[in-house]
Structure 1
């Protein structure tokens, strides 16, 4: 019985290819069989269904009325079978395989706990973590090099990418607890002009948001240095007493630093999972994101798009 079902699926695949190309020679090449074998497959399907599916002449192949009627059902059946196979393979994938994840530097604060827990639960899955600026990660996602990207919501328009909100954040001034700026509950950009700053490099998401606000307000900061990674940037803040500007979550595990929200309506940032639209979400990706949502930073603000 199982063999017959497999044969029927092969018949349907051959039929759909022939209906698409309307050329048995080209269809046979696409199915990697000889033309005589392909023609025999179509003949067997027609005999099983008790009807003719194609009009054939020496110059032309076209669908009969029965063939036109069968085509959408055949496509649906093949898609369902392929989806079933993907899901079964997906179940096995939690025991092996590779998960490719893009992460912006400013999103690093939630990764340590997530990686530790995921690797403990799924020791046979290889994790390929790529830290790059948002623009490069988006390009890799669009090229199917990454399963998903963890970042703040991008400012550009990406119609092929969907952003799923994980948590809200705000652009903030990051200083040592002994800094005069640490006394503020909220801080205006005009106050910062009197203090030296070390900023994230241009192209990073926090810097992009900041530059938009600086341009809008006409504010110029006293920038002494720029760095393209968050960890050494915070280390420099600790050693020099200068301030930087990042998302408030950058200090999640830093008891010696304080995050003061900038008093401007354009400072909202949204931590998101970026995925390609219409792409099947494999179980390993869903499980990684589930564990991510259990971290202390996002647990109370989780959205339920994965349910």
Structure 2
């Protein structure tokens, strides 16, 4: 059983189509079919049922799949460990960040790329749910996100920042002069909110359930930057963390009067039990340095 065969098997199993799997792997379909057949002959059992152009994993194929995943990941971890022995000079780093945390990511990215110009960095933005799923599937090396309350504890987490929820609007909005806003007044104000799937949205919905609020939501969007842009028309307000509106001087952050602290905890998330690239830990160090610098500046101000 070769690692190459397991990789071919994994792709075919997940895509359920030999032609598509061969295209993704950049090999011919005949090569893929031959390698799968050799693997089946070695194991003495069929791994796929062939149904026209489609292939469906058999019971044996489904049983083998998690072992194939682990073998491929452990082999990649071994290769990465050897590369790391040579220092953080080259390689790839895949970082995930939620829209609300991008203000922390950008200065860390600039610092890291200046220090390690040979490392190719891929940044993926999305909702907390999307990125946590991607991290769990080993599609990311690390993730910067707020933590949804319903998240299972199968990832390693490092708390890095707390950010308070505010009513946010443009300085031309009729409520922009308020020093604070009550929940009752907030509920009557036209709002644009992040779509479901954002950790911030989940926190808002928990607040609504607890205090029996019915918000006036006119627009839901999956892009925080577009929400901020729409606020500049002077009609809409939103509810976001302080981190999401950093470096937006024309927007007003108004505290929400509530009996409980309206804060969200931001974390660094790591895949549990996997080898951590030196590039990933170096990037995390840059990120923590940026956040500590911002905290000191806020305290001084």
Do both proteins adopt the same fold according to a TM-score greater than 0.5, normalized to the shorter chain? yes
Q: Mind listing any 5+ residue stretches in structure 2 that lack a counterpart? A: 1-76, 297-301
Larger-Rg structure: 1
Distance 1:185 1:240, change over 3 A: closer
Q: Assess if the C-alpha contact under 8 Å between 2:170 and 2:233 holds in 1.
A: no
Q: Assess if the C-alpha contact under 8 Å between 2:89 and 2:116 holds in 1.
A: yes
Q: Assess if the C-alpha contact under 8 Å between 2:192 and 2:236 holds in 1.
A: yes
* Structure 1 counterpart of 2:108, from 100, 110, 114: 114
Displacement after TM superposition at 1:86 (Å)? 6.1
CA distance in 2, matches of 1:212, 1:114: 32
* Structure 2 counterpart of 1:289, from 284, 289, 293: 284
Match of 1:64 in 2: none
Displacement after TM superposition at 1:301 (Å)? 5.0
Is 2:272 the counterpart of 1:277? yes
Match of 2:58 in 1: none
Match of 1:248 in 2: 242
1:252-284: CA deviations, max 9, x gaps?
A: 101111222323326210111011233333211
Match of 1:164 in 2: 158
CA distance in 1, matches of 2:85, 2:166: 42
Displacement after TM superposition at 1:244 (Å)? 0.8
Match of 1:147 in 2: 141
Aligned residues: 219
Is 2:183 the counterpart of 1:189? yes
Match of 1:258 in 2: 252
TM-score (norm 1): 0.65
TM-score (norm 2): 0.66
Distance 1:94 1:247, change over 3 A: same
Aligned Cα RMSD in Å? 2.3
Q: Mind listing any 5+ residue stretches in structure 1 that lack a counterpart? A: 1-82, 303-307
* Structure 1 counterpart of 2:131, from 137, 147, 154: 137
CA distance in 1, matches of 2:89, 2:191: 47
Q: Assess if the C-alpha contact under 8 Å between 2:135 and 2:141 holds in 1.
A: yes
